[in-house]
Structures are given as C-alpha cells and as structure tokens.
Amino acid sequence: MNRPNPFKPVRQGASKAPKPIGIAADHGGYELKEYLAGKLREAGYEVVDFGDGRPKEDDDYPDFIVPLARAVAAGTVDRGVGICGSGVGASVCANKVAGVRACLIHENFSAHQGVEDDDLNLICFGGLVVGHALAWELLQTFLAAEFTGAERHRRRLAKVTDLENKL
C-alpha cells in the first residue's frame, strides 16, 4: 500500500492547509501531551490544546476530553489525541460524543487500519502506559492514514451513525 509520508502534515488538497490537530489530557497524560504537542508543532501542524494546562492530581479527564471530542465531531479540528493515565477513560469518554470514533492504540497496524477502514478520528493513549517515542510513531501513522471510503466500510459506519442517532 502506498501511504503518505508520516513525517509531514497531511495535506487535504493542494492549496488548503491542514486543519489543526486537537490534543487533551488529564494529569495522567499531561507529560505525554506536552511532548506530542511539541513534536506536532515541530512537524508543522497547528495544535489546539484543550488542556489540562498544568498537571493537577484532582483533575478529571472528561473535563478535557469532551471539549476535544466535540471539536473533532464539529470539524473544528481535523483529528484528536486524547490522553489519560491508561487511555481507557479517554477512549470511553470520547466515544460518548456522536460523530467521534476513538480508540486506544498501542501498535502500528491499528493506528492506520482504524482510519482506513473505520474512519477513526481520535486516537487515545495511556500516558502511564506507552512511551514517548512509540506514541509519536503511532500518532504519525494515525495522521498519515486516510479513510478508504470502501462501500463495505461506509455501510458499517452508517450503521454506527444510525445507532448514535437512536440513542
């Protein structure tokens, strides 16, 4: 498969700059969030930071993940990165927002396959689980991937959207 270079920002048309990438974390993911936001900026991405602005032991991941997920669903940011201690809470929380397809990712195959087949738009990490270098590699893979739009994938996603609309 011929995928775009993961080390360059994804361009959505020759003359259009990519939309910003959103990022959010609680205290358990703060250090990883800061690292990834810096790497994204170095790579040429505009980053929208939804917090936490400083690590506080008593903060709660929904306070940061929900605004990020709403921005992803609204198209204000192209894709999102949600981080908490394990990544599980961030994933569960983000998926409560209609239009968001979030997943906890710890390996490369799912980082691209989730976008290509399932139109994944928010990647989640565990700040206490995954190392900085691996998280950066996975994030680059996620951002470089594109939804294939295959009929079978569109059909499945329509069923997910239908489920969201019935809830």
Residues acting as catalytic residues: 84
CA 118 to chain centre: 13
User: How far is Cα 45 from Cα 105, in angstroms, rounded to an integer?
Assistant: 21
User: How far is Cα 156 from Cα 161, in angstroms, rounded to an integer?
Assistant: 9
Q: Which phi and psi (to 5°) does residue 70 adopt?
A: -65, -40
User: How far is Cα 75 from Cα 105, in angstroms, rounded to an integer?
Assistant: 22
Q: Where are the beta strands (DSSP E) in the chain?
A: 21-25, 47-49, 79-84, 102-104, 122-126
User: How far is Cα 143 from Cα 161, in angstroms, rounded to an integer?
Assistant: 23
